[in-house]
Structure 1
Amino acid sequence: MPTVGYVNRTDRLYALVEELRAVAPRPRSARWLAGKFEVSARTVERDIGALQQSGVPIYAEPGRTGGYCLDRSHTLPPVNLTPGEAVAMALALRRLDGTPFRAEAGSALRKLVAAMRKDDAAAAQDLAARVHLLGDAGSPPPMPHVLGTRRVLRIGYADREGAVTRREVEPLGYVGKPDHWYLVAWCRLREQVRVFRTDRITSIAATAEVPPPRPLRREDLDIPYGVVEQLTLAG
């Protein structure tokens, strides 16, 4: 039996659901699943418990040939959410803070992420990790769509006096406030990390160039007021 290493728990949860869906209604034992995913049986049991708490219809069949099985009649096929759509849903959940449906919305997001294709789920996690909100941001405005790309952007940017400069920037991350968004990027004109208010971006175009990876350091997010909080897809 081939083994697959899943370092990311979200990837493993998705793969567990897909494995059980593929063989349903036949069961898979915790020992069998542990061998496939190169984890302990106890880890499998914890993962199954987390999926059950999120509402995934997984049941335990007793007996020597028993194990965990999925009720296919109560599940959906893989959801073709894009990484941007998943992050947009996580941002939308912020509007439900303090309402009676916040927990249910979080559970729905976890189910959708677990049902995404492995590569898309990983890309969504990567994008979410680059989105930060000020602790008092509440519900920030919609993030400009094109800013979700990892490609080099050509932008026109107006300063406080309205003077526009043309720049090529490498997106690193995003910070949301109640009234507007900031793009954190490596500016090739200034040759350093700069922060751009998105409402001052007068034009924008994504190029075909994928820039080399650059880390988004904590000091790049050193905002003198408020607490910066990283967006999560955990709901």
Structure 2
Amino acid sequence: MKRIERLHALSEMLRRSGARGVSADRLAREFEVSVRTIKRDLDALDNSGVPLWSRPGPGGGYGLAASGSLPPVSLSPAQAVALMAAVSAAADAPYADQAAAAVQKIVAVLDPTTKARANGLARRIWVNAPPCSSRTVKSALEEAMAEQRVVRIRYTSSQAATTTRDVEPVLFAATNGQWHLIAWCRLRNAMRWFAVSRIEQASVTRTACSGHGVDEVGEPPRNARPVHRRVG
């Protein structure tokens, strides 16, 4: 399990533990890592703003403050199903696994009547999603993008030329139903678009990106838009 995935899973386990909390020893056994690694992960969560609490001594442990749990959500059945459908139809999108987990959290806190109606409506929607890229490749690209670290990829172009190169991830973009990684290529010393489906291998390095930004990519494809929308 990649560290970024472990951090998300660790946060979810702490949330489920409620007021009881959970010990570092148990967390280490659950994720098959050392207690020292778990404590580093807990520090990382704390530094990122996750509201953790700790209780020392026998019977102590770690937990997630009430402010870090999702409160009851007011959604209509159609709104809940819209989230389910969007995630199911975009299984190859960046962070799709995390999106699916987030939707499950939202659905889990719906009132029983809304949840039952949403599940009934969801059975009336079918999705024929395209095959997903390698989970290992996607995890590496997602981690490199989130942590802004150089990723080493093995890439086969549309002309069947295969190269191994280090790239600095700048953004993900979907055009004509295909996802691309747009990155600064250290081999070509230029910004390049890489079809994710053509990336055969990917591994995150320890090298931080040098700061290339979205403004260097140029004009987006026609009708392209960022998924970010300001709230409030």
Q: Which category describes the TM-score, using the shorter chain as reference length?
A: 0.3 to 0.5
Give the TM-score normalised by the residue count of structure 2. 0.41
Specify the structure having the higher radius of gyration (Cα): 1
Give the TM-score normalised by the residue count of structure 1. 0.41
Q: Greater relative contact order (Cα 8 A, min sep 6): structure 1 or 2? A: 1
